[in-house]
Amino acid sequence: MTRIRPLWRTVLAPAAALCTGCAAISPDAPPFPHAVVAADHIIASRAGAEMLRKGGNAVDAAVATSFALSVTRPYSCGIGGGGFMVIHFNDDPVHGTRSIALNYRETAPAAIGPDYFVNADDPSASTLGGRAVGVPGNVAGLLYALEHFGTLDRQTVLAPAIRAAAYGFEADENYVSTARSVAARFDEHPEFKRRFAYVWTAFLHSGEIRVGDLVRLPEQAAALRLIAEHGREAFYDGAIADAIVRAVHADGGSMTHDDLRAYRIRQTQPLTFRFASWRFLAMPPPSSGGVAMAQTLGLFTRHLAATRGRPSSSAMFVHALTEALKHAFADRAEWLGDPDFVDVPIHQLLDRASLDAMASSFDPARTHEPGAYGSRAPPPDDRGTSHYCVVDAHGNAVAATETINLSFGSRLPVPEFGFCLNNQLDDFTALPGVPNAFGLTQSDRNLPAPGKRPLSSMSPTIVLDADGRVVIVAGAAGGPTIITSTIEIILEVLLSDSTAAEAMNASRFHHQWAPDVLYMEPEWFDVRDANGVLVVDRLSAMGHRVQRRDSIAAANLIRRSARGWDAAGDPRKGGVPAGY
């Protein structure tokens, strides 16, 4: 690995400024000696840290953090959505040393078959309103995690979220910029103001929301109190279930009480792979994250080997990683789906011979022509999804990513209980051959079916060192850019020994094979190589179609350092860690 360390430093050091409109976070923040939570909102990080101080473990902290994010990042994630959680117990007094992956992704209601969206009269049916909504998994997933792997009770872990919902929280810049861009859509479609009235008034303050305004969600506080008191039943079989079914039906959807009652989480093993001496614990399908990361890092290493003897440069490094990403995203489009429903050939995809064969087509001088699929439209500037990381005083770790998909999900609120329902069904191959909201074209393996979970890019990841100790907990929000940005921040730490803040501040790039565009954050356009040539010009000369993108993903990261746990939220979303 020492061979490529200086290269990676060459790539990112000149681009250490940040995405347009973001102020880089201080690289001098001291580490947390014992335990820490890094989440997208300070109230959520503090909710988790409160559990850690009370003696709770990483899972208790994760559950408290997630419920608090449901309140403070209501456009990204929450009780109307679903997610994935990777847990690693490190010589824990109760659980010993073991790893677990929890899949609480939304499922398609029983009425949703492969042609459901093809037959829909409305082209926005998979993204907007009642028909876009998958059966939420978040509450089931969090309560399962708490019951099986936590130590505290429901009332304790839900208390900070209930406080935040009942007393309110101040809208920050990320909240306001998201709310204003959604409000602009409501202005273009004034009927949304009636159709999604609770969103318009409670979340968007009728389009007038400003930084510092108090957002109170007493209705969500009521939902959280019911969950604290009655557990999973309150959500899947009680008053909240009634309100969800009512909201979905009133807006043309078909979710039933039976769909909600039938919801089950899946406990499984993380997908594990090695990169140099490190061991990655990642999420298996229906997340595409683990497979794509394993393929990308395996190919990247081979591509770098193929550049040996050529002058090293930033452009070559970006090229080598981009070519790996293009292979991984092409396979994502073709092969991945929910393994409960379709055959997903993970072993073939990660097989050494198969990676060797793919890498053999790598040309250090140019990129290859794109396939015939995919849209050239850039993916949306999406504020859905939220990632958080936890490490407790025993060194146990949780990485979790949760989402309601696009900003404010389907936009369909459950007004009695103050939250938005997801539009996760758009992550299926809703319209075959047509790219989804993230520009992803996907195969028949990912067609909708009753009870099936849509393919996801969410990539909660834990990295262990050769001694089995947790060294990194990471992940991101941002559709397919999740996979790329999670790889990039991890490489920053592993190959350049960067601090969490440096890794977070570094400018990013992203390629998802289709559309055939290499997206780069603005600072890249000023970076020159040793000969004074702009890196983007070098990449263009190799055949890459380089395009500027203001901000790529919103990550969170915890890193083991000599002085404790070094953690950072992403300045692109205003995340701040908390711990002790």
Shortest CB 305 distance to ligand GLY, Å = 31
Shortest CB 82 distance to ligand GLY, Å = 9
Selected catalytic residue, list 301, 322, 385, 486: 385
Residue carrying the six token digits 């990485």? 399
Shortest CB 315 distance to ligand GLY, Å = 29
Name which of 15 and 404 has its Cβ closer to ligand GLY: 404
Name which of 344 and 355 has its Cβ closer to ligand GLY: 344
* Pair 104, 141: CB distance under 8 Å: yes
Name which of 456 and 484 has its Cβ closer to ligand GLY: 456
Q: Where does this chain touch ligand GLY (CB under 6 A) — which range of 54-62, 368-376, 456-464, 524-532? A: 456-464
Q: How many CB atoms lie within 10 A of CB 33?
A: 12
Q: Does 457 bind ligand GLY (CB under 6 A)?
A: yes
Q: Does 295 bind ligand GLY (CB under 6 A)?
A: no
Residue carrying the six token digits 């909600």? 260
CA-nearest of 172, 154, 219, 117 to 429 is 117
Shortest CB 35 distance to ligand GLY, Å = 28
Query: What is the rounded CA–CA span in Å between residue 126 and residue 448?
Result: 11
Q: Does 423 bind ligand GLY (CB under 6 A)?
A: no
Residue 355 in tokens = 């990676």
Shortest CB 543 distance to ligand GLY, Å = 28
Query: What is the rounded CA–CA span in Å between residue 301 and residue 359?
Result: 9
3-state per-residue secondary structure call for 46-65? HHHHHHHHCCCCHHHHHHHH
User: How far, CA to CA in Å, does 574 sit from each of 21, 39, 334, 548?
Assistant: 12, 9, 35, 22
* H-helix or E-strand spanning residue 358: helix 352-359
Q: Does 427 bind ligand GLY (CB under 6 A)?
A: yes
Shortest CB 485 distance to ligand GLY, Å = 13
Residue number of the CB closest to ligand GLY reads 456
Name which of 344 and 458 has its Cβ closer to ligand GLY: 458
Name which of 287 and 307 has its Cβ closer to ligand GLY: 287
* Pair 507, 523: CB distance under 8 Å: yes
Q: With contacts defined by CB under 6 A, how many residues of the chain interact with ligand GLY? A: 8
Among 442, 456, 498, 507, binds ligand GLY (CB under 6 A): 456
Site residues for ligand GLY, 24-43, by CB under 6 A, read none
Cα 105–Cα 106–Cα 111 angle in degrees, nearest 5: 150
Name which of 161 and 404 has its Cβ closer to ligand GLY: 404
Maximum C-alpha span of the chain: 67
Q: Does 136 bind ligand GLY (CB under 6 A)?
A: no
Q: Where does this chain touch ligand GLY (CB under 6 A) — which range of 155-163, 323-331, 453-461, 548-556? A: 453-461
Q: Where does this chain touch ligand GLY (CB under 6 A) — which range of 146-154, 175-183, 389-397, 451-459? A: 451-459
Residue 52 in tokens = 């850690």
Site residues for ligand GLY, 371-390, by CB under 6 A, read 385
Number of helices (H) and strands (E), helices first, in the chain? Answer: 19, 20
Site residues for ligand GLY, 390-409, by CB under 6 A, read 403, 405
Shortest CB 456 distance to ligand GLY, Å = 3
Q: Does 496 bind ligand GLY (CB under 6 A)?
A: no
342: left (phi over 0), alpha (psi -120 to 50) or beta: beta
Shortest CB 338 distance to ligand GLY, Å = 12
CA-nearest of 412, 313, 302 to 355 is 302
Name which of 66 and 156 has its Cβ closer to ligand GLY: 66
* Pair 507, 17: CB distance under 8 Å: yes
Please name the amino acid found at residue 572.
Answer: R
CA-nearest of 291, 133, 284, 161 to 224 is 161
Q: Does 323 bind ligand GLY (CB under 6 A)?
A: no
Q: Where does this chain touch ligand GLY (CB under 6 A) — which range of 239-247, 292-300, 366-374, 454-462? A: 454-462
Name which of 255 and 359 has its Cβ closer to ligand GLY: 255
* Pair 386, 39: CB distance under 8 Å: yes
Site residues for ligand GLY, 467-486, by CB under 6 A, read 479
Query: What is the rounded CA–CA span in Å between residue 427 and residue 109?
Result: 14
Shortest CB 57 distance to ligand GLY, Å = 27
Q: Does 172 bind ligand GLY (CB under 6 A)?
A: no
Shortest CB 314 distance to ligand GLY, Å = 29
Query: What is the rounded CA–CA span in Å between residue 560 and residue 565?
Result: 5
Query: What is the rounded CA–CA span in Å between residue 357 and residue 153?
Result: 51
* Pair 263, 135: CB distance under 8 Å: yes
Is-catalytic flag, 97? Answer: no
Name which of 259 and 427 has its Cβ closer to ligand GLY: 427
Name which of 292 and 359 has its Cβ closer to ligand GLY: 292
Site residues for ligand GLY, 78-117, by CB under 6 A, read none
* Pair 158, 147: CB distance under 8 Å: no
Binding site for ligand GLY (CB under 6 A): 385, 403, 405, 427, 456-458, 479
The catalytic residue positions are: 385
